Amino acid sequence: NAGVTQTPKFQVLKTGQSMTLQCAQDMNHEYMSWYRQDPGMGLRLIHYSVGAGITDQGEVPNGYNVSRSTTEDFPLRLLSAAPSQTSVYFCASSFTPGTGGVDTQYFGPGTRLTVL
Amino acid sequence: EDQVTQSPEALRLQEGESSSLNCSYTVSGLRGLFWYRQDPGKGPEFLFTLYSAGEEKEKERLKATLTKKESFLHITAPKPEDSATYLCAVLSTGGFKTIFGAGTRLFVKA
């Protein structure tokens, strides 16, 4: 198993540009999520999905879009990049909480994004 | 609102000097409390899940405990390779949002 994979590892954007961060998992997990990590602030939830076709907002959703067309993939789209979106982005997956599976989230290696 | 506070922000230990990291939490109903280890430039790596007060789990030099208001990560006789950031997180019952603390950076000097 590859676990959770993310691409790209590094990205530099100019203000106003758009891009998609890719995330995939091969563990057949229903639950997937996106976090951003900023110095001194820990991980903050952006969006999450409890299954294909179902997504919802986390703590800091503004400026980001998600969709979930398959169980395996959960891309994160930046619509119009801003310097405040400079951060490290992590994707994670687990069995859907409360369904009897293990709640532990498994994280990808991260994407380091800089917006100039 | 669910909240997680970790202390201290940073901890410097000598090799072999045991200590504890604290995670205080506020949640409407606890489904699970998680501990992760994060090395620089990498994603968080799962350590433990605790579900109810009084529960304890151990792994090598690490032991996690849970009460109704806080969790401790005890590190016994740490080694330099234990240096990392340790993250605590909570998941409430009926919810899908895991809330993380800011983490404790641990430095272990040989």
Q: pLDDT digit string (tens) for B76-95?
A: 999 999 999 999 999 988 78
pLDDT for res A91: 98
Contacts of B24 in chain A (CB under 8 A): none
pLDDT (tens, 9 = 90+) of chain B, 110 residues, equals 889 999 999 999 999 999 999 999 999 889 899 999 999 999 999 999 999 999 999 999 999 999 999 999 999 999 999 999 999 999 988 788 899 999 999 999 99
- Would the CA dihedral through A50, A51, A56, A59 be positive or negative? positive
Backbone angles phi, psi at A20, to 5 degrees: -120, 130
Q: Is the separation of the CB atoms in A48 and A32 below 8 Å?
A: yes
pLDDT for res B35: 97
* Yes or no, beta carbons of A40 and B102 under 8 Å apart: yes
Cα separation, A49 vs A68, in Å, equals 7
A52-to-A26, A74, B55, B59 alpha-carbon distances in Å: 14, 9, 34, 35
- For residue A104, name the pLDDT band (cuts at 50, 70, 90): confident
The secondary structure of residue B79, as a DSSP letter, is -
Find which of A32, A95, A104 to mutate to test the B interface (most B CBs within 10 Å of its CB). Answer: A104
Cα separation, B15 vs B29, in Å, equals 38
Contacts of B41 in chain A (CB under 8 A): 110
A68-to-A76, A77, A112 alpha-carbon distances in Å: 10, 12, 22
pLDDT for res B54: 96
Contacts of B95 in chain A (CB under 8 A): 97
pLDDT tens track for A17-59: 999 999 999 999 999 999 999 987 889 999 999 999 999 999 9
* Chain B contact for A95 (CB, 8 A cutoff): no
**What average pLDDT does range A64-88 have in this prediction?**
97
- Helix or strand (DSSP H, E) at B20: strand B19-26
* Yes or no, beta carbons of B43 and A98 under 8 Å apart: no
pLDDT for res B94: 75
